[in-house]
Amino acid sequence: MSAAACIFGCAGTTLSLEERAFFKAVRPWGFILFKRNVETPQQVKALVEALRETVDRPDAPVLIDQEGGRVQRLKPPHWQSYPTGRAYAALAANDPLTGRAIARLGARLIAEDLRRLGITVDCAPVLDVPVPGADAIIGDRAYGESVSSIASLGRAFAEGLIAGGVLPVIKHIPGHGRATADSHLALPVVEESLTALEVDFAPFRSLSDMPMAMTAHVVYSAIDPKRPATTSRAAIDFIRDNLGFDGLIMSDDLSMKALKGDFKSRARRSLKAGCDVVLHCNGDMAEMQAAAEGTHALKGHAKRRAEAALARLPRTPEPFDEAEARARFALAFPDLNS
């Protein structure tokens, strides 16, 4: 039986009987964890194993947002803090080679944290290019303010994750940095021309070889004046054809307020537009049940992309001396975990 073209969250630190039955019946392609699902390393590892057991797939991807800074689901005291994207950019401004090396090292350390728990996908790096006057939802999550800084440090971060046995998800394609609203709360509309938007698109084009990407719930009027990228066939075709991205495309969270309509229609519209899988994060059972009604089995090109993404995981992580690596990282950011 094929996996369904969806990724779901769960409500707490353990699975309820209802969740187990639902996941067993629906067979989502993957799962995502949030702060509400995290207490201790032992508990998270057990939860990850329980999630995979429900779909009887040891390789079912389990995702988390572990960017560093304000978007970090695993936190002290059990896990160390990691810096914002802007902090890596500050290092790179003084010494580009060192900045890139430290960004890769930070991601390699995050991958080590995640791999120990069985988590195989990190929803990072953020490749959005912030502009003056934009909403602060991106802000210091960005790896600087220039295309060159964001593309260079974003690639270093992505490569560090892969080296450690964790898949990156580039986000929010084709670019959220210009949006003047937070798509968690409202639907942003970007009215600049395609020529002006080349700045936004450039980092995604530079990292078009990455295995997975997450859409932006943003309307780009020059591409589709009515629909956000997540539910726009024109926008998804643009991502494929113009940005050259042939990896797996997942929607951003269906429960964000940028999207309208019931959850069945949100899922259906996203998949019809060309997303390979849909993402629903908050663990609300009624919403997940409705979203599942709008999904279908992973098949065709979407299935090929999903299989290709998982094939990017190395059989054995790149060897490194973890104690030495953490000491070197601490020297770069001495105040981070003090």
The tens digit of pLDDT for each residue in 159-185 reads 999 999 999 999 999 999 998 888 888
Q: For tokens 């953020």, what's the residue?
A: 126
Q: Is the dihedral angle over the CA atoms 104, 108, 109, 114 positive or is it negative?
A: positive
For position 338, what pLDDT does the model report? 63
Question: Which residue blocks in the chain are alpha helix, DSSP H?
Answer: 17-26, 41-55, 85-94, 96-117, 147-163, 194-206, 233-241, 263-273, 285-293, 300-311, 322-332
Of the chain, the percentage scoring pLDDT greater than 90 comes to 92
Determine which one of 78, 182, 184, 284 is catalytic.
184
Q: Is 323 exposed, middle or buried (0-12, 13-18, 19+ CB in 10 A)?
A: exposed
List, for residues 191-209, the tens digit of each pLDDT value: 999 999 999 999 999 999 9
Q: Residue 275 carries which side chain, given as an amino acid letter?
A: C
Q: What span, in angstroms and rounded, lies between the C-alpha atoms of 138 and 308?
A: 29
Beta carbons within 8 Å of 200's beta carbon, 6+ residues apart: 128, 129, 174, 175, 177, 178
Q: Mean pLDDT, to the nearest integer, of 299-324? A: 95
Active site residue 252: yes
Amino acid identity of residue 182, one-letter, is D
Report in angstroms the alpha-carbon separations of 154 from 54, 85, 290.
Answer: 34, 9, 35
Domain residue ranges in the chain: 4-332
73: number of Cβ within 10 Å: 19
pLDDT in tens, 224-283: 999 999 999 999 999 999 999 999 999 999 999 889 999 999 999 999 999 999 999 999
CATH 2.102.10.10 is the classification of domain 4-332: no
Give percent above pLDDT 70 in the chain: 100
Catalytic choice (113, 128, 224, 252): 252
Q: What is the mean pLDDT of the chain?
A: 96
User: How many residues does this entry show for the chain?
Assistant: 338
Asked if 128 contacts 142 with a C-beta cutoff of 8 angstroms, the reply is yes
